[in-house]
A and B are shown apart, each in its own frame.
Chain A
Amino acid sequence: MSAVPISLTRRRPVGERIIERLLFLAAAVGVVTTLGIIAVLAFETIEFFLAVSPIDFFTGTHWSALIKPQSWGVLALVSGTLLVALIALVIAIPLGLLAAVLLAEYASPRVRTVVKPILETIAGVPTIVLGFFGLNFIAPHVLRPLLGPDNIGTFSALAGGIVVGILITPLIASISEDSMRAVPRGLREGAFAMGATKFEVVRKVVFPAAVSGIMASIILAMSRAIGETMAVVLVVGTKPQLTFDPTESIQTMTAFIVQISIGETAQGSIEYKSLFAVGSTLFLMTFVLNLLSGWVVRRFRTAY
């Protein structure tokens, strides 16, 4: 045989390699963002801790940044944040999971075309709108008549929790629905073939098989609830305190950051730096929850 006349060993053209580099750079923007967030938070947080003992910060339960004498016990803000997040989860877990089951197991395609947009619309409403709704409707027209005007004020953790609960319900519903849909049809058929009712199939086969995704959705929703700002800032008040009473006015970490940003706070002042310390705390909490949700998915995933 004679030699092949066409070279099969051509080098990749330069243009191709430049394109690949550029694409890589675009993908790396995310890493730069992450590093930027960490660097910015760390820098000012360290500055803050040069002035305030980290031990006092993380163990103190009294927070007063704008009124002297100042006090930097972040637990007052953390507890307010967690209180709101827990109330939100108490509302969103049942609502979100029931909606997910309806969509994944019961709904005909026609029902889906009605139900899906409801969830997507709620998910797409700007969160400030939900905050407005909490302030002007839920607090005065739902909670006050329900609990009595003497028992709950204009601002409360409960109103914040309800608003955030509405907000995170679509998140739980959509991730849980996906994970229920990923359960193979064969498993459902196997259970039906043994005389299981639809509910038994859902509860004893689909739900356990989808549990990793369901747990992950709940953790992500918790992370979202902790980091939510505009929906709570109008509703919960501005009173940082360690309390488990949902009818009390509280302040979340995010609401504090808003408060300090709106006020006339000089750059370099301790109040300004406290914004970063609270930001770091918030970032760490959500970061750990996000990692945890990923770990739960990997650890408890059912391989079919």
Chain B
Amino acid sequence: MSPLSNLRMSEPLFSNSFLARTLRRRSFFRVVGATVATSTLVLAGCNDDNDPTPTSSTPSLTLGSGDNGLLNYAYLLEQLEAAFYQKVVDAFPSDFTAEDKAAFVDLRDHEVIHREFFRYALGTNAYDSAGTSLTFDFSSFTLTTRAGVYAAARTLEDTGVAAYNGAAKLITDVTSLRLLAKIASVEARHAAFVRDQAQPGSFAATDVITASGDAAGLDTAKTPLEVVELIAKFVPATIVASSLPTI
């Protein structure tokens, strides 16, 4: 277990106390480049059904403002996706084929690289630079069957595509915009692939690509606030996105 598990649950998630910082830094170095799942979150217990007051101890995850806020938002999405694929790779469904497994190792690797890239690029501006990685909650998915895993992947990848499409116009720095676009199309490739595996030929079906009207032929775009609402159930913290740019 991580030394973090010794911290009391009432401890704020991103405490700046010297003790917390020291412990988390040690944890940070241990998990860098490895998996999110190895780091135990202080508040894992908050999701415990027996906990009578889950809200009072739910920590806040503040994404910040401006381009840094948006990069933290992208970083959180990549953490989420990487954690998902890692969880699948750690325990493949019994009906996964060798091809499925190989693809998921690729997908895991891409998302881990995205996550680590953002972590590195953000440096001390990363929302979790104090060292604690989140343990995401995927209990709403069925990860024991091939169909369940691909359906889950479809949800996450489509959300990722919509998130990048919606965030682009909010970014002011041209280099950051270029980087988001480089990642956005990879997420779209992932989305098309997992959709086709979930249901053949659904790579660009009408639930994601508008079929008619003025927006015909366009992929989904969602604002950060819309995306935060969609991913809230996976994140064991209250995501505070209110300072992110909206225009």
Q: Decide whether A and B assemble into one complex.
A: no
